[in-house]
Structure 1
């Protein structure tokens, strides 16, 4: 296990609790030196841990934790498919989707959970990225958060 995987586990996200490849879509798609990660929801060992609207049904604090779990699932998928997070040069972009009440305007605070975990695992420089945080009327399965990401692979 590499240093980045150890950091992920130290943050509370054991590798073995991550997503499995599904029958319809790929967890990851690689084109040249760019890795596109499919959107991940806050599953922990196959159980959806956060459902509902932010902030009326899910607190901002809990949604932020869910965003970190979504991101951990992306990183776990990279380990599953590529063998190591050391294959990543840097994080390029993160898009976070938050299932919100109509008047909620703090989606960026929720998606900080994703950004903070990426910086913790990859470091301040390689973990720094462009980002969009969106509030939506609904997400798949009623989940509170979904995160997708793009990475640059090492040559």
Structure 2
């Protein structure tokens, strides 16, 4: 099946974007500079708290990363008016709240990476990095930081 837009892919995937969450402190949800949109760190909706490898499995972490990716998409939708203005997903960086012995950070971040490719197709292929964190804000299981190339408004 051929999709023509990110909007149609969302519909086909059955994803309804929430209202973009507000920043947790004194910063902007996103900043656009020279055709790049930098989205501040977003965590999963629904309030999960805890560490991967202690409180949650890798499979649960994958789901949380996908939920955090949906939060990122909601910010994009709010900032741009349409996901179809995204030219390319440039970079995804994940901060996994993990037990010190945990080693599957990369599998957790696949939840967000897979979502970006599902929504944006070839434009969703991106560079990425993932780090284990001793702690993150609000004890979220993951926070995702991202960069997108977008159409100039």
Compute the TM-score of the two structures, normalised by the length of structure 1. 0.88
Match of 1:32 in 2: 34
Match of 2:13 in 1: 11
After superposition, residues 95-110 of structure 1 pair within 5 angstroms as 95-110=93-108
Match of 1:41 in 2: 43
Match of 1:85 in 2: 83
Match of 1:147 in 2: 144
Q: Is the 8 A contact 1:35 1:153 kept in 2?
A: yes
Confirm or deny that 1:112 pairs with 2:114: no
Match of 2:54 in 1: 56
| Partners of 1:12 and 1:25 in 2: CA distance | 31
Q: CA deviation at 1:12?
A: 4.7
Seen in structure 2, the aligned counterparts of structure 1 residues 19 and 154 have a Cα distance that, compared at 3 Å, is closer
Give the secondary structure class of the aligned counterpart of 1:135. strand
Where structure 1 has 5 or more consecutive residues not aligned to the other structure, the ranges are none
Q: Is the 8 A contact 1:13 1:69 kept in 2?
A: no
| Partners of 1:18 and 1:55 in 2: CA distance | 30
Q: C-alpha deviations, 1:82-127, integer Å up to 9, x for none?
A: 100111100100000101011111100000001000000000x211
Q: More displaced, 56-65 or 2-11?
A: 2-11
Q: Which runs of 4+ in 1 moved over 4 A?
A: none
RMSD: 1.7
Confirm or deny that 1:128 pairs with 2:129: no
| Partners of 2:42 and 2:12 in 1: CA distance | 20
| Partners of 1:5 and 1:73 in 2: CA distance | 15
